[in-house]
Structure 1
Amino acid sequence: MNNKNLMLNLKTICNNTFIDHDMKKNTSFGIGGNVKCLVYPETKEELKDVLNYINRFNLKFYFIGSGSNLLIDDNGYNGVVISLKKTFKKLKILNNKIYAESGVMLGHLVKQAVKAGFGGFESLIGVPGTLGGALIMNAGAYGSEICNYIDHVISIDLKGEERTYNRQDINFSYRKSSFKKDEIIVSALFNCKKDDIDKIKINTRNASNKRKESQPLRYRSAGSIFKNPSENISAGYLIDKAGLKGVRIGGAVISEKHANFILNVDSAKSKDVIALIKLI
């Protein structure tokens, strides 16, 4: 059986399977070609069946969240892309803990934490993407990171086996984690602490305002492109000092507002963004 038919057969396993799907609609950059197969499993059992199928036929695959930190090649991706952003959306407050599935948007989790009076999550308000993606890259902002509150994380590997990782099992660092690339995160449990609700609301508002004031949120982008080289110097500062703000290649431009953002201002191609990255 050829590769195309193998991917077509995924429809018999998962109804939410799309063939030759335009990925521009699935990334915050709005850039990229078609993916051969995009799959949104609805349940753990369906996800396990999809993963077993991929493993059995050795299909090329990639896991994504909501596509908010992703640049897809203009030529597309000749493989299977799996996302849980539309289906794994459960979130529960359990005493002083939050249980959330990996398709929950991080912004929604933060709002629910604030509503419950849990402190510490405020600085993450406005950070785009799903919880799964946030855990993989250890999302953070203004001195706080998602790893600070982890109790445990559950993932599923290509054999369909569930794995539980307690906080001490996971190595987190600046925008990085030790989760394996052949496992997909399905849920997480967070330890939370009650705090003064007025203080939480003020912190949330301040973080939100700071983001709006410093970032070009009106344009399509993937957020900050480069990691900060140190705690004392930001990548944006260095790019600004290099005089690169406003430099444009094709439909992509280095933001005048925040130099670490590359914006899609006019139907940019992936090659335009890559050229700017290489220039920086």
Structure 2
Amino acid sequence: MNKQNIYDKLCEIIGEENILVDEPMKNHTSFKIGGPADILVTPTDENQLKEIMKYIKKESIPYFLMGNGSNLLVRDGGIRGVVVKIAQNYNKFEINENIIKAQSGILLSTLAKHIAKNCYKGFEFASGIPGTLGGAIAMNAGAYGGEMKDVVKSVKVLNQQGEIVELSNEEMEFGYRTSLVNKEKLIVLEVKLSLEKGNYEDIKNILDDLTVKRTTKQPLNVPSAGSTFKRPEGYYAGKLIEDSGLKGVRLKGAQVSDKHSGFVINAGGATAQDIMELIEFIKKTVYDKFKVELNEEVKIVGED
């Protein structure tokens, strides 16, 4: 793999202003952790994205697709090949009656604010979920009783054959923290949400209430990737961890939050290795005590 050749070709497709070389992934993850990506690109429209993917696949270049890195732990060796970041450069939206159409790189928090301003209800649950709309669709993100599947009308995707297709809610096969995006390795381009008109004061009250719940119960002031573990059936990961005596436990730069045990945080200078060792320690301790297996919700990628 000749990095210079790849860089030159990608410059032709999206311009050098949208390309970074040997870019530390700690600059692109909410954990503030991660070694360098060989090349990182930030496409601005679906045509650029289509051309990038066509080139990468034709040349068999390894690639990794990401949003704004809020659910991501990149190992200390970084990522080989090309990282395609669909985030702030890909965040346009429009509201037409009760249909909200948005590009996949928009932050859920930003979209929720605009939806609320226009007096549409039903999207309040997503206001505090960190991450982009595309990432939320991929994992059917949810919080406080709502999930993406409840509000999605259709999703425009780029499939593995390089075709752009629009899939209905039913075709998306939404499940608990999963969707067709993961199964078929689809790239989410644009999402249509269907919402009902509501009362602005009522919507604002819900948003304010959820903000208070999050800020008082979650360690939002320190680097993390949100909830570290999926919810095991019949249990809550945070409670299992706390009941195992692990609240506040620290391993080098990694720590179980003393505000919410379901969050592993970067307490200062943590490496990916520190985080992974603490995750394994938590899993073993919880299993030994309760015979319940915890599975990571955070996505771990890259080389050691």
2:99 maps to 97
Q: Which moved more, 1:214-223 or 1:158-167?
A: 158-167
1:184 maps to 187
2:215 maps to 212
Scaled by the length of structure 1, the TM-score of the pair is: 0.95
1:251 maps to 253
The answer to whether the 8 A contact 1:153-1:187 is kept is yes
1:151 maps to 153
The amino acid of 2:122's aligned partner reads G
How far apart, in 2, do the equivalents of 1:72 and 1:5 lie?
A: 24
Aligned positions, number: 278
The amino acid of 2:134's aligned partner reads G
Equivalent residue runs for 1:41-190 within 5 Å: 41-180=43-182, 182-190=185-193
How far apart, in 2, do the equivalents of 1:173 and 1:159 lie?
A: 24
For the aligned residue pairs, the C-alpha RMSD in angstroms reads 1.3
Equivalent residue runs for 1:226-265 within 5 Å: 226-230=229-233, 232-265=234-267
The answer to whether the 8 A contact 2:180-2:186 is kept is no
How far apart, in 2, do the equivalents of 1:93 and 1:268 lie?
A: 42
The answer to whether the 8 A contact 2:152-2:192 is kept is yes
How far apart, in 2, do the equivalents of 1:182 and 1:218 lie?
A: 33
How far apart are 1:118 and its partner, in Å?
Answer: 1.3
Which stretches in structure 1 are left out of the alignment for 5+ residues? none
How far apart are 1:121 and its partner, in Å?
Answer: 1.2
How far apart, in 2, do the equivalents of 1:7 and 1:249 lie?
A: 39
The answer to whether the 8 A contact 1:84-1:102 is kept is yes
2:19 matches 1:13: no
How far apart, in 2, do the equivalents of 1:123 and 1:17 lie?
A: 34
Deviations 1:239-258 (A, max 9, x none): 00000011111111000010
How far apart are 1:195 and its partner, in Å?
Answer: 2.1
How far apart are 1:159 and its partner, in Å?
Answer: 4.4
Which stretches in structure 2 are left out of the alignment for 5+ residues? 283-304
2:197 matches 1:194: yes
How far apart are 1:158 and its partner, in Å?
Answer: 4.6
